[in-house]
Amino acid sequence: MKQVNRFIRSVTLLMLALLMFSGQAACASSDSISSQSTPDLLIRQIMGLAYESQQSINSGPFSVGDSLKKVEKAWGAPEDLSTAAANYWSRNVRFLYDGSTGRKTITGIDDFDPKLQSIHLSMLKGLIGEPISEVEQEGMYYVTYTDYANYKVVFVFESAWINPDPRLNMYTVEFATDQ
C-alpha cells in the first residue's frame, strides 16, 4: 500500500510539474507575440485608445482632459517644459496643455514612439479608410481621422512629395472638435 501511495504521489507531482511547465511555455509564447507589434496592430491600438479613452500608446494612464499636474505627480517633472508643452522624451510622449488653467488641462497628446515608423500611409488608409483631411504642410503630411464625438487623431507622416507612401513620424490625440 505504501508503494501505491508513493507511486500516486510521484505521478501527481510529475503531472503538476508538466502542467506548470506547459503553462509557462504558453505564457512565454503569448508574451513574445504581444511584444512584437505589427503595423496593423499598432494602428488598431492607436485608434482604439483614442476612441475609448483619448490616450496615446505611451501616455497611459493619462488622457486628454487630465491635469498635467497629475502627470507630474506620477511621472515626475517633464524632461523639457514650455508654456504649452511638457515633453517626456524617454517615454516618447508630449502633453500639450492649456497653461491658462490652474490645473494645466491636457488638450492634446503627441506620441512619437520609434516603432510608429513601421506604419506607412497606404497601410493606414487600407485599414481605416479615407481620412477626413489630408494636408501637405511645411515638409510634413498630415492625415486626420475623427468620430466627431470622442476623438480626433492627426497622423504626421514624412513628406508625401518625397515618398508617395511615407512613413509615420508621430501622431496627436485630441478631443473631437465638437467638444
- Write down the domain spans for the chain: 1-34, 39-175
Residue 28 has pLDDT above 50, yes or no: no
The pLDDT value given to residue 150: 85
Give 25's pLDDT tier (boundaries 50, 70, 90).
very low
Residue 65 has pLDDT above 80, yes or no: yes
3-state DSSP assignment of residue 87 = strand
Residues of the chain above pLDDT 70, percent: 78
Strands 105-111 and 133-137, bridge-based pairing: unpaired
Residue whose C-alpha is closest to residue 62's, from 11, 101, 97, 21: 97
Find the angle CA(4)-CA(8)-CA(11) to the nearest 5 degrees: 135
CA 44 to chain centre: 9
Average pLDDT, the chain: 82
Residue 146 has pLDDT above 90, yes or no: yes
- Lowest model confidence (mean pLDDT) among 16-30, 148-162, 164-178: 16-30
C-alpha cell at 139: 515638409
Residue 26 has pLDDT above 60, yes or no: no
Q: Which ranges constitute the DSSP H helices of the chain?
A: 2-35, 39-53, 68-75, 121-128
